Amino acid sequence: MQRKLLTLVVLIAGGIPFLPMPAMAQNSGAPLSKQALEECNKGRLATDRPTRLAHFRQGQTLGERAVAAEEGSADAHFALFCNLGELLRVDGETLTSIFGLRRMMNELDRALEINPAYVDALSAKGTLLVKLPSFLGGDSEKGEQLLQHVVKQAPRSVNARLALARVWCQQGRHDDAVALASEALAIAEKHQRLDFIPEAQAVLQQAKTNAAKTKEHRS
């Protein structure tokens, strides 16, 4: 039963936010944080499971070292969160560990505690809140508010736009979802975000289909 419930959880619409590398402060933990996030990004681009696992595990190790070197670094906690999250979803969107989910969320929350304005972390938090069921900490209303905030603050955030477009589709705001998904696809294409283009196309097509069906029913 627990496993069936966990299959409901989609960690991130399209994965952990794969945004431009945040600026790292000049300190002992910064190089490790940067390397850990690079491993997470490399793993997301890899096409075979062994390579993905290798990158994420190396990223986790580096992230843990970064946190140990500088516990007060938001970048370190976010980099560790990224790899922990991808390890949880390496075989799809089925979670197999409540403990793993809680540890991942703790790292994300710690990053935001240190830097409440951390856009990448806010995007990840918002996406998680709208996707997680309430018994695992989900809060769709709060998540939607966070995603709207990120969309306003981060012109290049594809992930937040796609997550919010999905939310609007669920709410029946199909035309708004089409506009936002179109914007996300344009950003992904403009900035060569190859990892997000297929997802953006799929979300846009679904939103268009839903919008067309709604208009057909009204006519």
Mark which of 115, 135, 154 sits at the end of a domain: 154
219 contact partners, CB below 8 Å, separation of at least 6: none
Whole-number pLDDT of residue 96:
59
Indicate yes or no: pTM above 0.85: no
Q: Are residues 72 and 165 in the same domain?
A: no
Whole-number pLDDT of residue 150:
96
Q: Mean pLDDT, to the nearest integer, of 46-70?
A: 96
Whole-number pLDDT of residue 169:
94
Q: Are residues 150 and 184 in the same domain?
A: no
Number of domains in the chain: 2
Question: Nearest to residue 83, comparing CAs of 110, 111, 52?
Answer: 52
Whole-number pLDDT of residue 21:
43
Residue 26 has pLDDT above 90, yes or no: no
> Higher model confidence: residue 13 or residue 148?
148
Whole-number pLDDT of residue 28:
67
Q: Mean pLDDT, to the nearest integer, of 73-95?
A: 88
Residue 104 has pLDDT above 50, yes or no: yes
For 118, phi then psi, to 5°, come to: -70, 100
Q: What is the CATH number of the domain that holds 41?
A: 1.25.40.10
Residue 47 has pLDDT above 90, yes or no: no
Q: Are residues 148 and 182 in the same domain?
A: no
> Where do runs of H (alpha helix) occur along 1-70?
2-6, 30-45, 49-69
Q: Are residues 136 and 172 in the same domain?
A: no
78 contact partners, CB below 8 Å, separation of at least 6: 22, 33, 37, 107, 108, 111, 118, 120, 121, 124
Q: Are residues 209 and 198 in the same domain?
A: yes
Q: Are residues 147 and 176 in the same domain?
A: no
Tens of pLDDT, residue by residue over 177-207, are 999 999 999 999 999 887 788 889 999 999 9
Q: What percent of the chain has pLDDT over 70?
A: 84
Q: Are residues 49 and 20 in the same domain?
A: yes
Q: Are residues 143 and 214 in the same domain?
A: no
Asked if residues 56 and 11 have their Cβ atoms less than 8 Å apart, the reply is no
Whole-number pLDDT of residue 44:
86
Supply the mean pLDDT for the chain.
86
Q: Are residues 48 and 114 in the same domain?
A: yes
Band (90; pLDDT cuts 50, 70, 90): confident
Mark which of 131, 154, 177 sits at the end of a domain: 154
The residue segments making up the domain with residue 99 are: 2-154
Whole-number pLDDT of residue 18:
45
Mark which of 129, 154, 179 sits at the end of a domain: 154
Tens of pLDDT, residue by residue over 10-24, are 344 344 444 444 444
Whole-number pLDDT of residue 61:
98
